[in-house]
Amino acid sequence: MALLSETVIDIKHWTNKTFSFKTTRNKTFRFKNGEFAMIGLEVENKPLLRAYSIASPNHEDHLEFLSIKVPNGPLTSKLQHIKLKDEILINSKSTGTLVCDYLLPGRNLFLLSTGTGLAPFMSIIRDPETYEKFNKVILTHTVREVKELAYKDFLENLNNDQLYSEITKGNFLYFNSVTRENFERTGRITTWINENKLTNYLNIENFDPKLDRVMICGSEDMTFDLKTLFEKKGSSEGSTQIQGGFVIEKAFAEK
């Protein structure tokens, strides 16, 4: 395993439970938008690594990651205290199933996330190819409290962004909901998808398993519930071997 050493160039603490950080990017490091890499720190002279989705798109010259803070987590208990100019270890090979290539061609693309599961979709929604493959790209992000809606301002304004408006051409839709606090949209994403409430709210076509594609990333419970939901709707799971109607990511940074 070849490890690259990158330097922390930016850190943002969203809440006392989540933070994101940017590092330099070695010119040899290549990845597909939506993939994850094993990243970490040197602890007691050994690399301690965990799987982290890459939040920055592959056309950027830096790397960005979104992480939770686990008080007793072997890695995150230390990673949450990183400072500018600290060194981060990154495995030179990325992988993962949240890649558009593993989905059948289709109409609309639904990116369904909870918590830090938002990370891989931050790269996919900034990839020009995503908008060449699908009519509309719908990103949903569900969290417990409003302050956990990382990148909220950026996502609400993506269609008007100086750089990305040319890429999205108004075809990006952002939907967020909160489960444990008063907010204009409350409830789990499964509740919103059932009975076509999500599509009605966004004023788009109801989900059709023959036409629409889905990516799922978040807590294990949410991933399992949505997998079951879309299978019942007639969608099939895709993988690195075969294209499907939906894909999930089984490697979680919080593990």
DSSP codes, 122-179: HHHTT-HHHHHH-SEEEEEEEESSGGG-TTHHHHHTGGG-TTTHHHHTT-EEEEEEES
Confidence bin at 225 (pLDDT 50/70/90): very high
Sheet hosting strand 62-68, strand order edge to edge: 46-53, 36-43, 87-91, 3-13, 18-24, 62-68
- The whole-number average pLDDT for the span 149-162 is 97
Which domains, ranges and CATH numbers included, belong to the chain?
3-91 (2.40.30.10), 100-248 (3.40.50.80)
**pLDDT given at position 159:** 98
The pTM score is: 0.96
- The whole-number average pLDDT for the span 153-163 is 97
Confidence bin at 252 (pLDDT 50/70/90): low
Over 80: is that where the pLDDT of 253 sits? no
pLDDT tens-digit map of 62-71: 999 999 999 8
**pLDDT given at position 7:** 98
Over 80: is that where the pLDDT of 250 sits? no
Pairing of strands 136-143, 172-178: parallel
Residue with tokens 């939770």: 68
**pLDDT given at position 67:** 96
Over 70: is that where the pLDDT of 174 sits? yes
Coil, strand or helix: which one is 41?
A: strand
Biggest distance spanned by C-alpha atoms of the chain? 54
